[in-house]
Amino acid sequence: MPQRPEHTIDESKIYRTTITTNKGTIVMDLDPALAPKTVNNFVGLARLGYYDGLTWHRVVPGFVIQGGCPDGR
């Protein structure tokens, strides 16, 4: 796992992310005012391509998707 990204987000901005899967698309708004460290980590890792190609281990329609280790474990 990469090191925690440096704090590079603008905390006054809402970040919108789109996750595209073979089961559909998920759009989320990330609000740094509510969780600045979490938003910074997610945005920073996404910018590094960390989430690209990750495997979804569990999909329950209408309930949850769970991803796993970047090594596919």
Q: How confident is the model at residue 1 (pLDDT cuts 50, 70, 90)?
A: low
Average pLDDT over residues 25-46: 95
Residue 58 makes CB contacts below 8 A (sequence gap 6+) with 64, 65, 66
Q: How confident is the model at residue 72 (pLDDT cuts 50, 70, 90)?
A: low
| Cα gap 32→42, rounded to integer Å | 11
62 phi, psi to nearest 5 deg: 75, 5
Average pLDDT over residues 52-69: 84
Q: How confident is the model at residue 55 (pLDDT cuts 50, 70, 90)?
A: confident
Residue that wins the pLDDT comparison between 58 and 35:
35
Residue at token pair 């090191």: 3
